[in-house]
Structure 1
Amino acid sequence: MKFENVRWGIIGCGDVTEVKSGPAFQKSKNSELVAVMRRNGQLAREYAERHGVPKWYDDADALINDADVDAVYIATPPSSHKEYTIKVAKAGKPIYVEKPMALHTEECNEMIAASKEAGVPLYVAYYRRALPRFKKIKELLDNDAIGNVCFVSTTQYQKALENVKDSWRVQPEISGGGLFVDVGSHTLDILDFLLGPIKEVEGFTSNQAGNYQAEDIVTGAYLFESGIHGMGNWCFTAYDNVDRNEIIGSKGKITFSTFGNEPVVLTTMDGTNEFAFDMPKHVHQPLVETIVAELTGKSDECPSIGVSGGRTNLVMGQFLGDVVEE
């Protein structure tokens, strides 16, 4: 499946598409955004006018079956990812779906199977895999900058968000869990990118503050297929905000944040080196560019696909105790 120019449609043109993702489809080479859909037709029309998009819909099926739409970006909450992915696959069009990929790993598997059966690619919006800062970390690891990797440690905690109980992000039937699923998925996915798949998890979850139904703290240990050990702590009711990952090796360590823009720090016996990067204005754009390059036959390198996205869902499910690997 090759295109000369990829014409995109978006299902669910909400806040995430305003700056982070939507403009990326217009600014990437050989790519254009030709249609958007939102159930509220007036909001869809306003979005289209605001961003210079020629078509808008209030019906997803109409967008999916529009002959002028080559590929579809699904930017709705996770509860509808499977439904829309299967519809787009049956229409024979490539799919780019928001993260987390679905409510749970069984849905991910159905989505992967549908795309495979239809012969269309399935990409997942874990855009950090294409950002320069994380590619640099991967390069350091591949070049043996810290020797043999022994373990990785993640500490992420933040202040309790106000008025969050009404957000879909903490309603498991819509999001798949709490803020751990929304926020922690990014870290677990980037660790998969950097260190390979996680094969075993032992974790604990609690709702300590009682601000909403879902878990608000998750802690645990995990084992990578490579034998690397990992430990993680995610708390969403703490006194402060901290975002720190450390990859420890036999010759040094790499320290970095998942969400911040602080320099990546390499520490060895020879001293400390810092690598600073500017965050792209449209953070999805580097990943979208890899997708477009693949769809136009310029390269075959998109690093975030259905199989890798499904692995992150599986690991989160193992933490939360709602998935049993067969």
Structure 2
Amino acid sequence: MSEIVRLGVIGTGLKAADYAKSWARMPEVEFVASADVSAASRKRLGDICLEAGKPAPREFDDYKVMLAECGNQLDAVYVSTPHAFHGEQAIAVAEAGLDLFLEKPMVTTAAEANALIEARNRAKSVIVVAYNGVLSPLVRDTHERAMAGEFGDLVSVSATIWESWSSNYVGHWKQRPELSGGGFMFDTGAHMMNTVCFLVNSDFDRVSAYMNNRGKDVDIVTAVAGRLTNGALVTFNAAGEGPPGCASHMTLFYSKAIVRIDAWGAWREISVGGKPGVREEATSAHQENPLKSFLGVKFGREQNMSTVENGLRFARLWDAIKASAAKDGEPIQIADIA
């Protein structure tokens, strides 16, 4: 099997352009087509390809036309659009029989997640969700060791993430609910929730949530208390207003160990027997160039750890958080809304 990937891009904004600077220089990647409502951003992507010595992709202002006209010339599609469009576009890519590298968060609701899984199963497509955390070797190693029982039983999780998000994205689509699907908790906070969902290897059973918009049209601060189906307890704290910067601290308490790690898997500390953990730093080109992970999965060199199934677990959690916050913290049973 040839390991040349003919790539289409849906959404040629700043993230796609930033990634393209390295992707266009990869010998195994050919940019064939791009779709975006902005002609300027499409041209920027084309110029990046030309600067790398590659042909510029064909341009479309409608992704449906791109899939119809170029589908048989593509092997895979990268989707990097505002969150609210992910579900429709991802399902369309899968239904076209193409493999998919999908930006986070995967979709906005559990219904969309289930529909994407069904489309994936029918087409037998490869779908990888572009979460930095699950691509981190420290997160993957933590997951494997926890599943092997090294840390004992999971007791509880305390996860916090913060960013000067409210001021960073004034006027940005991320603060427009019809495009973003949520505020800080669903944007930067998605890294925290997804990494926790991956590490605990359990669905949520019940959650209670509060949100504060702090004068914005979307949530800026969110606090969640939840219980997993395996009985462990989880708290999330997302603060999208504060001094400049962005960081995350997550602590997983097991019966035999305490694991501290950040949402992106950049560092980890494991404490055993009451002894302080030593700080480990992640070094992985896959976090800087996540397309390498996608290609590894597509060509069978890697196991897909960032799956649509974990995306469904996260989507169910997000549905419950929204439902509880809308009722001022009333506890929500996941099974009642799934």
Is the pair's TM-score, using the shorter chain for normalization, greater than 0.5? Answer: yes
Matches within 5 A, 1:258-277: 258-259=263-264, 261=266, 263-269=267-273, 271-277=275-281
Contact 2:32 2:74 (C-alpha < 8 Å) held by counterparts: yes
1:278 shift after superposition? 4.5
Q: Which residue of 2 aligns with 1:89?
A: 94
Amino acid across the alignment from 2:12 = C
> Structure 2: how far apart are the matches of 1:258 and 1:149?
18
Q: Which residue of 1 aligns with 2:177?
A: 172
Q: Which residue of 1 aligns with 2:329?
A: none
User: What RMSD in Å do the two structures reach over aligned CA positions?
Assistant: 2.8
Matches within 5 A, 1:288-303: 288-296=291-299, 298-299=300-301, 301-303=303-305
Contact 2:130 2:306 (C-alpha < 8 Å) held by counterparts: yes
1:168 shift after superposition? 1.6
Answer yes or no: is 1:137 the counterpart of 2:142: yes
Q: Which residue of 2 aligns with 1:49?
A: 47
Secondary structure (helix, strand or coil) at the match of 1:101 reads coil
Which structure's relative contact order is higher, taking Cα pairs within 8 Å and 6+ residues apart?
1
Q: Which residue of 1 aligns with 2:31?
A: 33
Q: Which residue of 2 aligns with 1:315?
A: 317
Q: Which residue of 2 aligns with 1:61?
A: 64
Answer yes or no: is 1:152 the counterpart of 2:157: yes
Q: Which residue of 2 aligns with 1:220?
A: 224
Answer yes or no: is 1:186 the counterpart of 2:191: yes
> Structure 1: how far apart are the matches of 2:80 and 2:168?
23
Unaligned runs of 5+ in 2: 327-333
Q: How many residues align?
A: 320
Answer yes or no: is 1:202 the counterpart of 2:207: yes
Amino acid across the alignment from 2:129 = V
Output the TM-score relative to the length of structure 2: 0.83
Contact 2:33 2:66 (C-alpha < 8 Å) held by counterparts: yes
Q: Which range is displaced more, 171-180 or 45-54?
A: 45-54
Amino acid across the alignment from 1:301 = Q
Output the TM-score relative to the length of structure 1: 0.86
1:10 shift after superposition? 1.1
Q: Could you report, residue by residue, the CA deviation over 1:250-297 in whole angstroms, capped at 9, with x for unpaired residues? A: 222111222484x311112262342433555663635x334323323x
1:179 shift after superposition? 1.0
Q: Which residue of 2 aligns with 1:12?
A: 11
Unaligned runs of 5+ in 1: none
> Structure 1: how far apart are the matches of 2:39 and 2:164?
36
Q: Could you report, residue by residue, the CA deviation over 1:68-92 in whole angstroms, capped at 9, with x for unpaired residues? A: 3211011111222222223222322
Over 3 Å counting, the alpha-carbon distance change for 1:77 and 1:101 in structure 2 is: same
Secondary structure (helix, strand or coil) at the match of 2:128 reads strand
Contact 2:209 2:225 (C-alpha < 8 Å) held by counterparts: no
Q: Which residue of 1 aligns with 2:258?
A: 253
Q: Could you report, residue by residue, the CA deviation over 1:150-183 in whole angstroms, capped at 9, with x for unpaired residues? A: 1110122334532634222122221111110011
Contact 1:3 1:295 (C-alpha < 8 Å) held by counterparts: no
Matches within 5 A, 1:69-84: 69-84=74-89
> Structure 1: how far apart are the matches of 2:88 and 2:175?
21
Q: Percent identity?
A: 22
Over 3 Å counting, the alpha-carbon distance change for 1:91 and 1:157 in structure 2 is: closer
Answer yes or no: is 1:236 the counterpart of 2:240: yes
